[in-house]
Chains A and B, each alone.
Chain A
Amino acid sequence: MEEIPAHPAGKTRPKDRTIREDYIMTLTKRLFLGLAAGTALATLPISAMAQEWQPTRPVDFTIMAGPGGGADQIARFVQSVVEANDMMNRPLIPTNRGGGSGAEALLHLNETRDPDHTLMVTLNSFYTTPIRQDGLGVDIETFTPITMMGVDPFVLWVHTDSGITTFDEFVAAVREMNGEYVMGGTGTGQEDSIVIAYMSGVYDLDIKYIPYDGGGAVARDLAGQQIMATVNNPAEANGFYAAGDFVPLLAFSDERMDAYPDVPTMRELGHDFSYYNQRAIVGAPGMSDEAAAYYREVFGQVYESQSWQDYLVSESLSPLPMDEAETRAYWATQVENHRQLLSEIDG
């Protein structure tokens, strides 16, 4: 494996400064822990992992979405598992950098001066944002794969009061409305709009699409019947589904979902289409092999933990374990798929 320099040329820093910063960071961490949990946390033993490399400062845990959404929930859950089991000797510091459909986060990782301490929790804007914004100058295939935590399927939902119970009835209702059928989503070019665009294309549907600024807001306005249908991740809709407000009509997963065994998939209807939101942890471009190995070990443990396995079930995420080479190949195909899907929407 080729050696990737820890600090890309032109971005190296004088050594003494790094050391001083380490010292300050150590102090800050002690203060933080002291303030936060008294001595209880600070005296817990640091997990003894047979690793040479360990983080020397708090790790930037960038979330490429705003607070409250799926990626944010996952990031904070992962942080809690790491924290509760004391898996790292330095804390993860979650920071929401959701601006510009994740452009802010991508740029932050691309330009970081400390790739060994910079991680990101992704969704599919990881693929779509660099395609839609040429000027960004971000090539996600240079990023460092860490761990694929799971993939989040999409489901078509309507409100119970609409009386619609099957996908056929949905198609009939949309056609009857003649362009007045209203769906909400998180914006043109976002995950759900790709699914809706595909569905509309195949079934020749004319849908009025209202963009919102997050999946949570979309689900809320379906609950209030401001909009008639949505394509939401299960995590965003499950509360309303459990209360009997939402009806799932169609899953965009490869196979029927355990949570909704009676809901057919797009594939069963004869269309070769499934769509998932990637929930992965990714390292900055130029992360050293030692650091990447360390984080893979840590998040591998998180992945194996009972808490995460329970979370996968309760939030209807599908597992999709992959190693580094597989992830890189997966990224390449995803970028290609998205380029094609987006050109169909925009074209």
Chain B
Amino acid sequence: MEVLSLIAGGVTTAVQPINLMLIVLGVTVGLFIGAMPGLGSVNGVAILLPVTFLVPPTSAIIFLAAIYYGAMYGGAISSVALGIPGASTAVATTFDGRPLALQGRASLALVTAALASFVGGTVATVFFSLFAPLLAEVALSFGPPEIFALMLLAFATFVGLGGDDIPKTIFSICFGLVLATVGFDTISGEPRLVLFDIQGFLRGIGFIVLAIGVYGIGEMLWTIEQTRGDVTTTNPKMTVKGLISDSKEAVRRGWKGTWIGSVLGFFVGVLPAAGATPGSLMAYGVAKMTSRTPEEYGKGSPDGVAAPEAANNSASTGSMLPMLTLGIPGSPTTAILLGGMVMWGLTPGPRLFIDESEFVWGLIGSFYISNVAAVVINLAFIPLFVWMLRMPFTILAPLIFVLSIIGGFAASRSMHDLWLIVIFGISAFFMRKFDYPLAPAVLAIVLGPIAEPTLRQSLLLSSGDPTIFFTRPIAAPIMVIALILIFLPALKLLRRKRQVTQD
């Protein structure tokens, strides 16, 4: 097969000594950048972009892609070990990764994350190699109505899941959506909700600010209050044998989440505008929904760690696809990579696969190698991260506060954001005390800025007619599934009531 020989050629390019060295370096740097709360692949790639002028373009993008990959793996580390998502892509990883760590199973969570990331990344690379041009066509057929339907589906997976108090879940989503509208409105070009006329709000409220506030400060206050500062996490000593038995358990209890995340993540990643964060959140929702034991989710299910981790790696590979084939970045990180490619004298777009075949296949080959390198390096560092957890909580808690503040400041270099982090942290603590789920608010601030403009663009297209969502071949089925999921809990409730009256 032609594709196989192209892949073989690409892998050969990727294992050349200089490229291999850059992969190992990039993955390691990415791992640590991703593990810092607040810093994600965007920062890593942006900072190191100028360095890549020292090497040929293929090596340069291989290096940057390796950082991107490493950061996806690394994001899970602070989600698990500190309870703060290392990057927006790792929010869903905290839902189950953190409880596992508190149960003394941090190593299981980290091993699951690493293995799921490996599978996700590899599955996505296979899809990428085989179907790139075809998928680019699919991505283009997603206009505003389709993207909106998809976003609604993402919300639906969270509302319709049951378990949590549904009115409170809806309240939390609305709270996040309101925060998401702060700042400039794309459609009208007017500022909205510039609270107290503070100029900082013109920029809107970033996801990182909310996530660090909620998880870094809010959760930490909650933990301190609950335990009076006496957190006991039992962390068995890490041994090679322990690592192997954790790996076995991770495979046994996380395979389902892994494959859901791998497939779903890739397709969401391919769509322009979506990217790895919605991909990982949706994968978590779908994995929970299809699970036979959904009640385990949120309490330390390895599936709940595997799904988002497989998805964010899969999606980050997926988001390379519209960048390379259409010249349209699917995520902020790929936007910077795109800028880099222009600098190196390459024109991303429909002709790249033909004109720069060697470059493209070298990059694809590097995906395979990067994944192998990332999983090995990640597993090797796990004992270090688990050791970090053995620190007494009285040392760890202030450390997390400091990391939260530094990370929050580093992302935007604005004092305004720091104050917001503190305010959100304290509010999150009280919301938590009153049993409001916070994940939906975080979900809303990620998806809101995608959902709202696409809703309005769709309605502009149809001159205000909402049937546009039900008459287009791709949007319609997605909408129907989303609506069913939203109303599922209400239907269940009705049926239960009817049964009660019949009895």
Name A's B-contacting residues (CB within 8 A): 32, 36-37, 40-41, 66-68, 72-73, 76-77, 79-80, 83-84, 91, 94-95, 97, 99-101, 103-104, 107, 132-133, 182, 187-190, 208-213, 216-217, 219-221, 223-226, 238-240, 242-243, 245, 310, 314
Contact = CB atoms under 8 A, between A and B. Distances in A.
Contacts of A213: 186, 453
Interface string B47-58: 111110110000
Given A95-B413, A220-B140, A220-B328, A210 B191 contact: no
Contact of A188 (B139, B188, B345, B413): B188
Given A73-B339, A107-B199, A210-B461, A36 B350 contact: no
A91 B48 CA distance: 12
15 contacts: A68-B338, A73-B338, A80-B49, A94-B46, A100-B203, A133-B191, A188-B188, A208-B463, A216-B328, A219-B328, A220-B140, A224-B143, A226-B143, A238-B349, A239-B347
Size class of the B contact interface (CB-based, 8 Å): 35 or more
A240 B328 CA distance: 11
Interface centre among B53, B139, B322 (most CB of A within 10 A): B53
B342 interface: yes
B367 to A, nearest CB: 21
B209 to A, nearest CB: 13
Contact of A239 (B186, B327, B335, B453): B327
Contact of A212 (B49, B54, B186, B204): B186
Interface string B460-474: 110100000000000
B188 to A, nearest CB: 7
B339 A76 contact: yes
Interface in B134-178: 139-144
Contacts of A91: 50
Interface of B: 42, 46-51, 53-54, 139-144, 183-184, 186-189, 191, 199, 202-204, 272-273, 322, 326-329, 332, 335-336, 338-340, 342-343, 345, 347-352, 413, 453, 457, 460-461, 463
A208 B144 CA distance: 15
A189 B184 CA distance: 13
Given A100-B203, A132-B189, A239 B326 contact: yes
Nearest to A216: B328
A300 B189 CA distance: 34
Given A213-B186, A224-B140, A36 B48 contact: yes
Nearest to B341: A73
Contacts of A41: 51, 54
Contacts of B142: 224
Nearest to A40: B54
Contacts of A40: 54
B202 A100 contact: yes
A242 B50 contact: no
Nearest to A103: B202
A217 B328 contact: yes
B342 A73 contact: yes
A82 B335 CA distance: 21
10 closest A-B pairs by beta carbon, nearest first, are A239-B349, A68-B335, A226-B143, A224-B140, A243-B350, A99-B203, A67-B335, A100-B184, A239-B327, A220-B328
Given A72-B339, A220-B272, A242-B347, A37 B144 contact: no
A208 B187 CA distance: 13
A188 B456 CA distance: 14
A188 B190 CA distance: 10
A319 to B, nearest CB: 19
B335 to A, nearest CB: 3
Contacts of B329: 67-68, 216
A91 to B, nearest CB: 8
Contacts of A132: 189
Given A80-B343, A95-B413, A224-B143, A190 B189 contact: yes
A187 B329 CA distance: 20
A188 B189 contact: yes
Contacts of A94: 46
Given A100-B191, A101-B184, 15 more contacts: A67-B335, A67-B336, A76-B339, A76-B340, A77-B339, A100-B183, A101-B189, A103-B184, A104-B202, A208-B460, A210-B461, A212-B457, A213-B186, A224-B142, A240-B350
A187 B327 contact: no
A37 B204 CA distance: 35
A220 B321 CA distance: 13
Contacts of A73: 338-339, 342
Given A103-B202, A212-B457, A77 B335 contact: no
B273 to A, nearest CB: 7
Contacts of A242: 347, 349-351
Contacts of B42: 67
A189 B327 CA distance: 26
Interface centre among A32, A187, A223 (most CB of B within 10 A): A223
A37 B51 contact: yes
Nearest to B202: A100
A187 B203 contact: no
A223 B326 contact: yes
Contacts of A133: 191
A219 B272 CA distance: 12
B473 to A, nearest CB: 14
A67 B335 CA distance: 6
A76 B49 contact: yes
A187 B342 contact: no
Nearest to B48: A36
B347 A99 contact: no
Nearest to A242: B351
A239 B351 contact: yes
A188 B185 CA distance: 11
A208 B327 CA distance: 26
